């Protein structure tokens, strides 16, 4: 079935929640979930059991990693294709939030580990679009019609299946952008009400948080081509004075990658033989056989970066280089400067 599942429709980034009349036919707004995008296909099987496939934004099917969702889809969904997000919630009642780290641990090669995690950190599925129902393709219809059909389908759903809330009130959407971040959400998505579903196209609009921070340059990775700087490694000092790796900045042009090698040469740490000192970042389940080595730099330069959110003690996504801050002392770059969202219970977003 995986080959028959469509690619997900995508979103392009905008700086602010757009006005509803900025797009012909108006806009519908919804929370932007911080999870794994999943296109779920349900087909009747030859043995009477439903065949379930969970497609992802990439080429990797997610079906085997979420057996608890497969069971729920088989029990609660008819023949259909649904677009949504797989998320994990953690925390005590009254202070629950989305947990990216717990979700990422679900991608594991061992079936026994997957089974255990499906019980200790079970996932949920939040649906936000309906692409087909009982063999009737809906992708060519306006989102307003697809949403109406999805609401009818979801009326009888029970945990772990949920319907994403929406609004056409731009003021409420802007409030969501601020409040829901405290529950671990990623921003707000705006969907044209009159638009058909466009696989692989950036038809939707997404608004994420934009923040800046001054960070210490601690190293760089060589580009995959073998020439130039692929990414800069960044650090912040904690309250014990320890310099922590908090993530990386990349997306440099070919010319800039080569320039950075020469620009950073005076900072390269070398051993007694004059050889470059290299380190390795922590390997994750997403690293695979990827080279995680980096060239160590003396922590003497500060740069300003733009980021969207912090996950634990690391930036959730790759950040964007903004400018060098040679006016800042590296030791002044601490976690205290980072904006922390006000806590918001996830039950206010999903029930």
Q: Which residues are catalytic?
A: 32
Q: Please state, in angstroms and rounded to a whole number, the distance separating the CA atoms of residues 158 and 155.
A: 9
> ω before 160 within 30° of 0 (cis)?
yes
Lookup: tokens for 257: 């990658």
Contacts of 350 (CB under 8 A, 6+ apart): 89, 124, 126, 162, 165
Helix (H, G, I), strand (E, B) or coil at 330: helix
**Which value, to the nearest 10 degrees, does the dihedral of the CA atoms of residues 41, 46, 48, 51 take?**
-20
Q: 């999805």: which residue's tokens? A: 150
**Do you know the residue count of the chain?**
351
With 0-12 CB in 10 A as exposed, 13-18 as middle and 19+ as buried, what is 287?
A: exposed
Among candidate residues 83, 78, 79, 34, the one with its CA nearest the CA of residue 55: 83
DSSP assigned state of 152:
H
> What letters, b where the CB count within 10 A reaches 16 and e where it falls short, cover 211-248?
bbbbbbbbbbbbbeeeebbbbbbbbbbeeeeeebbbbb
Q: What is the largest CA-CA distance in the chain?
A: 71
Among candidate residues 249, 28, 299, the one with its CA nearest the CA of residue 151: 28
Among candidate residues 171, 186, 349, 319, the one with its CA nearest the CA of residue 252: 319
């Amino acid at each position: 079935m995986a080959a028959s599942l469509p690619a997900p429709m995508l979103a392009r980034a905008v700086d602010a929640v757009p006005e509803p009349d900025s797009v012909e036919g108006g806009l519908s707004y919804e929370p932007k979930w911080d999870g794994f995008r999943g296109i779920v296909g349900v087909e009747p099987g030859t043995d009477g059991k439903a065949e379930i496939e969970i497609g992802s934004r990439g080429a990797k099917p997610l079906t085997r990693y979420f057996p608890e969702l497969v069971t729920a889809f088989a029990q609660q969904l008819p023949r259909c294709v649904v677009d949504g997000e797989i998320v994990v919630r953690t925390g005590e009642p009254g202070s629950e939030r989305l947990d990216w780290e717990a979700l990422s641990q679900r991608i594991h090669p061992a079936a026994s580990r997957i089974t255990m995690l499906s019980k200790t950190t079970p996932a949920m599925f939040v649906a936000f679009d309906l692409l087909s129902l009982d063999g009737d393709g809906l992708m060519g219809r306006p989102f307003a019609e697809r949403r109406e059909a999805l609401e009818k389908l979801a009326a009888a759903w029970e945990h772990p299946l949920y319907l994403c809330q929406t609004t056409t009130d731009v003021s409420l959407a802007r409030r969501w952008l601020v409040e829901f971040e405290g529950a671990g959400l990623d921003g707000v998505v705006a969907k044209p009400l009159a638009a058909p579903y466009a696989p692989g196209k950036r038809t939707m609009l997404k608004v994420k948080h934009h923040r800046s921070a001054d960070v210490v340059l601690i190293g760089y990775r060589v580009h995959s081509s073998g020439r130039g700087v692929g990414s800069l490694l960044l650090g912040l000092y904690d309250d014990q004075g320890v310099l922590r790796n908090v993530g990386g900045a990349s997306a440099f042009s070919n010319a800039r990658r080569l320039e950075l090698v020469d620009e950073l040469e005076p900072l390269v740490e070398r051993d007694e033989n004059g050889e470059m000192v290299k380190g390795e970042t922590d390997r994750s389940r997403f690293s695979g056989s990827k080279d995680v080595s980096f060239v160590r730099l003396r922590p003497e330069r500060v740069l300003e970066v733009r980021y969207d959110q912090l996950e634990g003690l690391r930036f959730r996504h790759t950040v964007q280089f903004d400018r060098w801050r040679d006016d800042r002392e590296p030791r002044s770059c601490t976690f205290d400067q980072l904006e922390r969202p006000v806590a918001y219970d996830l039950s206010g977003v999903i029930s």
